[in-house]
Amino acid sequence: MIAAHRLSKRFGRFLAVNSVDFEIPQGEVVGFLGPNGAGKTTTIRMICGYLSPTAGTVRVDGLDVLRNRRQVQRRIGYLPEAAPLYTEMRVVEYLKFRARLFGIKRAHRRPAIDLAMKRCLLSDVERQPINQLSRGYRQRVSLAAALLHEPPVLILDEPTVGLDPSQIRQLRGLIRELAGRHTILISTHNLAEVEATCDRVLILAGGRIRAAGTIDELRAAAAGKTRYVVETDATGADEALSRLPGVADVQYVRLSDGWGRLTVTAADGSADLRESIARELGRRGGATRELRREAPTLEHLFMHLVAEADAAPSEAAADRSGT
């Protein structure tokens, strides 16, 4: 339903999106996960036809976005992060206005509005001015407007920002209800959001796709990133632990009163390192008040990929240096 091939976007010397490739099948809910500034919103705007790519192509429902911009936009329901609303209008008035903009025929407008309000739990506030609604209800109004024309593709950019836990739970339930009838792309940097709602995940960092797969596949990929957290006052513990077999990295943070916290990352495929860490600390002297193994999570993989992207030299920096 959505296919990007070597999709890139440059703003002057800054390369915001760098040769991105992905495909999203019909009916899937896909999380577009990445830190702020990763290029998620820029990619979404190219999918929607609001920005033209510097290079590459993107297709929606088989249509090239550049060549068939209007046809593509009729197939997309887009909820931007800061969804614009005419807040002096009543809910039903705003939805009627949006229905006219979508070109929905007069005879079909009211049924479309009623269905969208029912889906988004808005029927009890249809006569209220939008400026009297809570942030959660306003988000529902924006989503109802995106659903009016029954688009096959829904693109939601940070849909839960500013919502309280109850409102987030309600929105997650609605997204799951819409799955299957719609192909849904959710852009977020919220890991819990992705794990609760998505079938598959694309992780974007530094303008590139760093990982892609189902939640279970990404958790399996994270399994090779087991970490151990140690608090000790032993002298030179960081250097000693970094020399142990099976250790890939050791990070040290100084605490108060001579104590330090070490985060030990295991190499891929290594056995449990707790015994060898404990023996080495015993040889160093001093005391140890904590030694625990952290089960690998999607968060560990995400942070690892983001750190790799941050450490890699950017193409924009190369441009500025003249290389």
Domains along the chain? 2-221 (3.40.50.300), 227-294 (3.30.70.100)
Can you read off the two tokens belonging to residue 118?
A: 């029912």
Phi, psi angles (nearest 5°) of residue 153? -120, 130
The pLDDT value recorded for residue 253 is 93
Q: Compute the distance between CA of residue 128 and CA of residue 88 in angstroms, rounded to an integer.
A: 10
CB distance 223 to 193 below 8 Å: no
The pLDDT value recorded for residue 317 is 43
Can you read off the two tokens belonging to residue 65?
A: 């976005």
pTM of the model: 0.77
Q: Compute the distance between CA of residue 270 and CA of residue 243 in angstroms, rounded to an integer.
A: 14
- Closest Cα partner for 73 from 109, 102, 94, 53? 102
**SS3 state of residue 20:** strand
CB distance 305 to 210 below 8 Å: yes
Please, what are the averages of pLDDT over each run of 10 residues along the chain (323 residues)? Answer: 97 95 95 92 95 97 95 94 90 96 94 94 94 90 94 92 83 87 91 88 94 86 79 93 92 92 86 92 91 80 81 52 39
Q: What angle, 0 to 180 degrees and rounded to 10, lies between the N-to-C axes of helices 135-147 and 91-101?
A: 30
Q: Tokens 């860490």 appear where?
A: 277
The pLDDT value recorded for residue 54 is 97
Q: Compute the distance between CA of residue 88 and CA of residue 131 in angstroms, rounded to an integer.
A: 6
